Amino acid sequence: MLYTVSDVPPAYLGVILGFQHYLTMLGATALIPLLIVPEMGGTPTQMAEVICTIFFVSGCNTLLQTTIGDRLPIVQGGSFAFLSPTFAVIGQVRAMVASGEIGAEEQFEQTMRRIQGAILTCGFIQVALGYSGVLGLLTRFISPLTIAPTVCMVGLGLYTAPNINGNFQRPLPVPGCEGYAAAVIICMVVFSQLLGFVNLKIGGASIKIFALFPVLWTVMVAWGIGAIAQAAGGMDDDYLGGRYAICKTSSQVIEDSKWFRWPYPGQWGAPIFDKCAILPMIAAMLVSMVESIGDYYAAAQLAGAPPPSGPVISRGLAGEGLVWGLILCGLIGTGNGTTSYGENIGALGVTKVGSRAVVQAGACTMIFMGCFPKFGAVFAAMPGWLVGGLYMCLFGLICSCGLAQLQHVDLNSSRNLFILGFCIYNGLSLGGDPSPLRTRLLAQSFVICRPRAGRARRLLCQHRPVFFSNTMIVSLLAGVLLDNLIPGTRAERGAGVYHS
């Protein structure tokens, strides 16, 4: 390593490398609001504000974690694990709008406030799990064989996403713009895979300029191609009968956005604590916590720090809950939780710079840029074909990251293959269409749904569709049960990876 965790590089180099960390997490973090805000009924201006808010919160969280939390050079950013329960909340509020319980103009605020309440609750739970050490006990029941299909379901669960009418559709690019979306996919393949070996020397570090920022390069090049086509009249209404008019880029949201806006608690209203929103979010929180433990070990190894001890892990997890859940994401309202970013941990190994000060410089950049809605408006103005092309590349990568956990598992074991296949298939079948669970057999005749059942059983029955309509929750529950009930050795399960 050129700089280990406690080293402080020269100021100019620290700023440059810190800005690199910001660029590394830029694309993935900005994509989360681009996906959820339109489904929440938000306007382009609100999308720009949410994008800035999530960068502001991510920067604050990163700065506090590296200073008083786990003190490891780890960047905090938006998590795709929370998308599945977020869509569950979106569906609930959309049903309320359809029934006339709330007005359509309230949809965005009502959805955001329910997500805030769920994240706040998860923050309290994560703090308790972190400081009490209970998570160490829970990880004994969670192995890579459980996490692999669960994280895989995060990506596969996005194969269909609710559109503005409440129906489910594939996250394909805007119809009629497939050619431009193909350019996005080609750019992503070229920059991330074919040009990944290209190095750029900055100071004493050699940076893989395309491998580290493939999303950024793809956006610039593909959007530039679209801008040239639009300027040349290729998207005019009178060109080929207006076939490509829908592919236009509008700069109106950039013009309408403010130059400066300070994200503040309660900007969308007071959080609403709805158990229908809280229960699915807890499952996402558990998955995020287990992933964070692995990130702590990876970051410590790459940064030249000792392996994190139990108190360090507890302090880090509690810090993520306290800052991520209680103070920032839940109160300010990002529509998502934050977690440690594996992409930035990989950057530590590529640049050979594991300095905590560099990550803190990157956090300051996030906070600074999060106060300028004009910056967020640039992302909000991205055309649908560009966003759709990025989704087609990145959602599959989420599945791959989940399946990568299987490297710790004995894949020659028929036991493990059965559990893996069962979790994935049932996550897709039950989570994608939970209607079989709403039949009379499970609705009235099953014991937990009877009128005389206790309060806990009635609650479970009432909100059963919330659980079983979530692909991630179905896979997680199936994995935990089968992995612990079917006999298998620790080495076979890969159980020692998370709690050795």
Q: Output 346 or 467, whichever has higher pLDDT.
A: 346
| Token couple for 4 | 């280990």
Q: What average pLDDT score do residues 460-487 get? A: 74
Q: What average pLDDT score do residues 154-158 get? A: 71
Q: What average pLDDT score do residues 193-222 get? A: 76
Rounded to two decimals, the pTM is 0.73
What pLDDT, on the 0 to 100 scale, is given for residue 162?
A: 42
What pLDDT, on the 0 to 100 scale, is given for residue 417?
A: 93
The answer to whether the beta carbons of residues 253 and 48 sit under 8 Å apart is yes
Could you report the per-residue pLDDT of 356-379, keeping only the tens digit for each? 888 898 889 888 888 888 887 877
Beta-bridge partner residues of 314: none
Q: Output 485 or 397, whichever has higher pLDDT.
A: 485
What pLDDT, on the 0 to 100 scale, is given for residue 485?
A: 92
Is 90 exceeded by the pLDDT of residue 457?
no
Q: What average pLDDT score do residues 64-82 get? A: 82
Query: What stretch of H or E contains 78?
Result: strand 76-78
From CA 476, how far away is CA 281, in angstroms rounded?
13
From CA 222, how far away is CA 29, in angstroms rounded?
19
Nearest CA to 74 out of 298, 239, 389 is that of 298
Residue 328 confidence class, pLDDT cut points 50, 70, 90: confident
Is 70 exceeded by the pLDDT of residue 1?
no
Q: What percent of the chain has pLDDT over 90?
A: 3
What pLDDT, on the 0 to 100 scale, is given for residue 349?
A: 67
Q: What average pLDDT score do residues 337-346 get? A: 74
Rounded alpha-carbon distances, angstroms, from residue 300 to 8, 147, 312, 348, 429: 16, 22, 11, 10, 39
Residue 421 confidence class, pLDDT cut points 50, 70, 90: very high
| Token couple for 160 | 């269909």
Q: What percent of the chain has pLDDT over 70?
A: 77
3-state secondary structure of 77: strand
From CA 235, how far away is CA 426, in angstroms rounded?
44
Beta-bridge partner residues of 396: none
Is 80 exceeded by the pLDDT of residue 73?
yes
* Average pLDDT value for the chain: 76
Q: Output 463 or 49, whichever has higher pLDDT.
A: 49
The answer to whether the beta carbons of residues 187 and 217 sit under 8 Å apart is yes
Note the Cα 283 to chain centre separation in Å.
14
Q: What average pLDDT score do residues 32-56 get? A: 85
Least confident among 66-70, 167-171, 174-178: 167-171
Most confident of 14-23, 248-257, 351-360, 475-484: 475-484
Is 90 exceeded by the pLDDT of residue 106?
no
Q: Please report, to the nearest 10 degrees, the dihedral formed by the alpha carbons of residues 119, 120, 123, 127 taken in order.
A: -170
Is 90 exceeded by the pLDDT of residue 91?
no
